[in-house]
Amino acid sequence: MSICTDPVLVDPISDFLLGVTESAVEIDVDDRDGRQCLTAYLAEADMEEGQRRRVIRQIGDYLAELAQIFEVEEPSLAVSEYAEEDWGSNWKKHFVPFAIVPGLVIAPTWEQYQAAPGERVIVMDPGMAFGTGHHATTSLCLALVREVVEGGGGSRVLDVGTGTGILGMAAALFGAARVLAIDNDPLAVAAAGENVARNHLAAVVEVSGVVLEQVAGGYTLVVANIIHDTLLEMAGTLERLVEPGGALVLSGILQGEQTENIARCFAGLGIAPVRVERLTEWSALLLRKGRG
């Protein structure tokens, strides 16, 4: 399938296609209008026609939702049939070890990687969950999480919408004493749990499908890499969960109006913006809750 879209949607669409199709996602620029085209492959050997249609409809619905959220033209979706190949394995050729932030490497389970002295490594398999670490917002969040935790302000961390568990595991490697990583997607909970066990971090990181509203408060750091509208909806709950003087790291938001909206919303709850980090069109906010 081929999807042509406004560049602002490339990252979230790429992550979504990776989770749905389990194939590599190729990205090319259309020089005629600046749009970018993504190509992915959906293996159909064990898929009934009705199931295939449902998957394609799911992708189309997601594209329409993204276009509405980001207020851009809806991406075009074209589907073609090709001879069956091992797409489920071929995409893995494109996921190789990489430094997501200085000193921290993400390495897939099927690649051998020898860590350099002082280098930390997270070995992971995304499974059917979203999050290989390639998205700009992940590296933005990681830089701020490391700053807070290594600065002594992140002893008890809550990772909201953990996906494959990268942020929660990184917080543990940076020195957090306890981490709760939650997600409402059972596939994400399963993938994150396996990754935590694989990296021998289960003594520090707990993975759960608990509903956010049922989580008890008292966290020194809350991190949520989601999307603008969801962050606004859960703002009051996030404020409750972070202890006075604690920090929040929020991302999944675009530079400009979305970043300003989030900063203004949380400031109204007594959580002041400290700094904004930017990469490509994305932002991550570091905020601090008042002690009063």
* Chain segment 21-30, per-residue pLDDT in tens: 655 556 655 5
* Residue 227, phi-psi category: left (phi > 0), alpha (psi -120 to 50), beta (remainder): beta
| CA dist., res. 74 & res. 60, Å (int) | 10
- 128 falls in which pLDDT band (50, 70, 90)? very low
| CA dist., res. 106 & res. 167, Å (int) | 11
| CA dist., res. 72 & res. 75, Å (int) | 9
Is residue 164 within 8 Å of 124, Cβ to Cβ?
Answer: yes
- Taking residues 226-240, report their average pLDDT: 94
CA distances from 20 to 5, 137, 206, 236 (A): 18, 20, 26, 32
- 17 falls in which pLDDT band (50, 70, 90)? confident
What does the pLDDT read at residue 27?
61
64-103 exposure pattern, b = at least 16 Cβ within 10 A, e = fewer: eebbebbeeeebeeeeeeeeeeebeeebbeebeeeebbee
- Taking residues 250-268, report their average pLDDT: 94
What does the pLDDT read at residue 25?
59
Task: Report, in angstroms and rounded to the nearest whole number, the Rg of the chain calculated over CA atoms.
Answer: 19
Which residues on neighbouring strands pair with residue 78, listed in sequence order?
2
Q: Which of 208, 141, 152 is nearest to 180 (CA)?
A: 208
17 — phi, psi (to 5°)? -65, -35
| CA dist., res. 164 & res. 205, Å (int) | 13
* Residue that the structure tokens 């006075």 belong to: 244
| CA dist., res. 139 & res. 142, Å (int) | 5
Examine the pLDDT at 105 and tell me if it is beyond 70: yes
Length of the chain: 292
Q: Which residues contact 116 (CB under 8 A, 6 or more apart)?
A: none
Examine the pLDDT at 87 and tell me if it is beyond 50: no
User: DSSP state, 73?
Assistant: P
Examine the pLDDT at 41 and tell me if it is beyond 50: yes
**What would the two tokens of residue 23 be?**
């194939």
Q: Looking at 47-51, 91-95, 208-212, which range is the least confident one?
A: 91-95
Examine the pLDDT at 20 and tell me if it is beyond 80: no
User: What are the E-state strand segments in 154-198?
Assistant: 156-160, 178-182
Is residue 128 within 8 Å of 187, Cβ to Cβ?
Answer: yes
Q: Which of 109, 95, 145, 113 is nearest to 251 (CA)?
A: 145
| CA dist., res. 269 & res. 190, Å (int) | 34
| CA dist., res. 167 & res. 159, Å (int) | 7
- Taking residues 7-26, report their average pLDDT: 72
| CA dist., res. 227 & res. 113, Å (int) | 33
State how beta strands 271-279 and 282-289 pair.
Answer: antiparallel
State how beta strands 120-124 and 104-108 pair.
Answer: parallel
What does the pLDDT read at residue 31?
45
Could you tell me the sign of the dihedral formed by the alpha carbons of 108, 123, 14, 191, in that order? positive
